[in-house]
Amino acid sequence: MAKTILVTGAAGGLGKAIATAFLAAGDNVVICDVNPQRIASVEEEWAKSYAGRFLTKQADVTDETSVQGLIDAAASQFGRLDVLVNNAGIMDGFEPVGAISKEKWDRVLNVNLNGPFLTTRAAIAQFEKQEPAGGVIINIGSIASIHGFKSGAAYAASKAALVALTKNTAGYYGDKGIYCMALLLGGMDTNITDAFAHGLHMEMFQKVQASQTPFTPERSVPLESVAKYCQFLTDPEIAPSANGSCILFNKNWPEA
């Protein structure tokens, strides 16, 4: 039976790869993004191959009203919601705590932590009221979730907090048939580095680089591999056992 999947920040990069994999498997997919042009481009691309099985929405995951509208639209279009993938995220500029502005700190925490909080809360309400009840939440974390010196202070703090949110959600809702897990990803070829266009704290960046084996393209985690892992975790026989898991998926970079 086809599932309904919601992927945030999915008009490009990893989110789009995850959404496309579920569509190719026959599931229904809802994606959102803050960029209307990117959303329109994806809608045009998918129209011929996946007509009737996807919904695109411009939405801001940091806005409570926008998030509720997104969840309601998904349930209205396809009758229920089965999976939420919290993919939307932004990078900092590798600023240490003494150098980052309050504005940038708030922005990174707002998208990377408040966003998953709002979408998770709204999705759980939908999971609980539908028949049959239940659902799966996959949070896209990072090696920075467990290694504090792999990014700037704001990004590291946001992704570490996402692990705590994952485990807390799994602990309370698991016996209700609502499962939550996180993928802690290594380096990937995505558009998250667009943040560096607004400035890079070079001293911090160089210290982080010097503390580990340099990242090279062959160490990049393929987007398609992450998408397959997301599909695996939503299998009804796998999700209960994976509940609460925070899985390092990093092509062994940085080395264990």
Annotated catalytic residues are 155, 159
168-189 per-residue burial string, b: 16 or more CB within 10 A, e: under 16? ebbeebeeebbbbbbbbbbbbe
Separation of alpha carbons 153 and 161, rounded Å = 12
Contact 7, 29 (CB under 8 A): yes
Instruction: Tell me if residue 121 falls in helix, strand or coil.
Output: helix
Concatenated DSSP letters of 158-178: HHHHHHHHHHHHHHHHGGGTE
Q: How far apart are CA 10 and CA 3, in angstroms?
A: 17
CA 12-40-108 angle, 5° bins: 45
Q: How far apart are CA 235 and CA 92, in angstroms?
A: 34
Report the DSSP beta bridge partners of residue 32: 57
The residues facing 183 across adjacent strands are: 140, 247
Q: Are strands 54-58 and 4-7 parallel, antiparallel or unpaired?
A: unpaired
Instruction: Enter the DSSP assignment of 133.
Output: -
